[in-house]
């Protein structure tokens, strides 16, 4: 059907919700349980996933291709990024300085992974909460280096390129301008470099997008101020999420950047998207028949209403060293 599916049967055996004393992402304490991370402490760690969906040197496909069913080795990289040595923390609970450090690590991993010849797209993401299906509670995210540009990104690329061809303008820049126009009813928060909003076309009730004000394509384009502003905006949104229902808010967080296949993607615009599964404190937004079978999302809410809820929960981000943003 024009899309690749990775089969990784070894992942059935991966660690599933271990007790805190046996968390594989905690530091290895002297005399203690040997975790994935062989040191007693760390700031942030990146490592290759023990149960990867894609590997730099994949085995030959387990089945043979046919004319109808092409197969290819699952080449790529799957990294785990551990945000903090504190098992009980979350990204929302981390100080903004730590989130700024994470932004720098993301940038460094993007730069390192894009140098692999086979890496055509670097996908940085976090699945948070059992509602999303996480298997480890320790605060962490992941990075996949795909050997092709994945389909959702392809759709965004096609739409942004078509808009550029038709108008001479960036689609995301136009969306941001539209969101800021008038009363900004869908805006959740803004700072000098980023805006957070629930887009007009949100598929999930609390689907926040964070877009850079400046037209840039990837984390590697951020200057120092923009890196700090991105950390502050992430802290702002994540803190508002946690206050919404007074619980640690589950979400998928994905970074959308330009591909790394050497093409010219000057028309594309870096942004971050959150897909929270909750529509109320106790009810999930299920991807049911229409969403899964037809790709047609049905949102039971209005973006303007949900943005107002989150906007009311926004508080200034305080930097311990260097003022507030």
Partner 1 sequence: MQHRRITLEDGRYLVFYTFDEETAAAASSNSNETIGAEELTARRAEPDAEPQATEEPGRV
8 Å CB contact between 306 and 205: yes
CB of 262 to partner 1, least distance (A): 14
Site of interaction with partner 1 (CB under 8 A): 14-15, 24-25, 28, 33-39, 42-51, 56-57, 77, 80, 100-101, 104-105, 107-108, 111-113, 115-119, 136, 220, 222, 224, 227, 321
Q: Annotated catalytic residue: which of 140, 209, 256, 271?
A: 140
- Residue 107 or 191 having the CB closest to partner 1: 107
- Residue 171 or 222 having the CB closest to partner 1: 222
CB of 121 to partner 1, least distance (A): 15
What residues contact 188, with CB distance under 8 A and at least 6 apart?
196, 197, 198, 208, 236, 237, 240, 307, 310, 311, 314
Alpha-carbon gap, residue 133 to 127, rounded angstroms: 8
CB of 107 to partner 1, least distance (A): 6
Task: Count CB-CB contacts under 10 A for residue 13.
Answer: 8
CB of 270 to partner 1, least distance (A): 14
- Residue 45 or 307 having the CB closest to partner 1: 45
Find, among 309, 190, 314, the residue nearest to 240 by Cα: 314
Task: For residue 211, give Cα distances in angstroms to 118, 145, 199, 302, 321.
Answer: 28, 22, 11, 20, 25
For residue 124, list its beta bridge partners.
143, 255
Task: Count CB-CB contacts under 10 A for residue 184.
Answer: 15
CB of 219 to partner 1, least distance (A): 9
Known catalytic residue: 140? yes
- Residue 32 or 61 having the CB closest to partner 1: 32
Query: Residues 103, 109, 115, 116: is their CA dihedral positive or negative?
Result: negative
- Residue 118 or 125 having the CB closest to partner 1: 118
Catalytic amino acids? 140
């Amino acid at each position: 059907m024009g899309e690749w599916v990775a089969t990784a049967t070894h992942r059935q055996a991966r660690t599933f919700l271990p007790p805190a004393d046996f968390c594989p992402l905690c530091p290895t304490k002297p005399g203690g349980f040997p975790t994935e991370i062989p040191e007693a402490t760390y700031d942030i760690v990146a490592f290759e996933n023990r149960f990867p969906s894609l590997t730099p040197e994949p085995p030959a496909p387990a089945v043979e291709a046919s004319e109808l069913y092409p197969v290819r080795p699952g080449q790529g990289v799957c990294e785990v990024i551990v945000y903090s040595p504190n098992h009980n923390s979350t990204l929302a609970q981390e100080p903004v300085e730590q989130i700024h450090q994470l932004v720098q690590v993301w940038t460094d991993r993007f730069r390192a992974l894009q140098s692999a010849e086979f890496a055509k797209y670097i996908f940085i993401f976090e699945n948070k909460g059992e509602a999303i299906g996480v298997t480890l509670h320790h605060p962490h995210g992941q990075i996949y280096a795909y050997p092709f540009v994945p389909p959702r990104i392809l759709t965004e690329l096609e739409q942004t390129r078509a808009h550029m061809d038709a108008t001479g303008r960036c689609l995301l820049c136009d969306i941001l301008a539209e969101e800021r126009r008038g009363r900004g009813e869908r805006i959740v928060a803004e700072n000098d470099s980023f805006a957070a909003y629930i887009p007009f076309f949100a598929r999930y009730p609390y689907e926040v997008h964070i877009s850079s004000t400046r037209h840039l394509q990837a984390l590697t384009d951020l200057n120092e101020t923009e890196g700090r502003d991105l950390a502050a905006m992430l802290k702002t949104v994540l803190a508002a999420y946690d206050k919404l229902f007074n619980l640690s808010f589950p979400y998928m967080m994905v970074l959308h950047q330009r591909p790394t296949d050497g093409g010219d993607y000057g028309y594309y615009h870096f942004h971050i998207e959150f897909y929270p599964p909750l529509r109320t404190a106790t009810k999930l937004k299920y991807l049911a028949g229409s969403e899964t079978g037809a790709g047609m999302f049905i949102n039971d809410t209005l973006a303007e209403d949900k943005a107002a809820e989150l906007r009311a929960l926004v508080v200034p981000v305080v930097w311990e060293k260097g003022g507030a943003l």
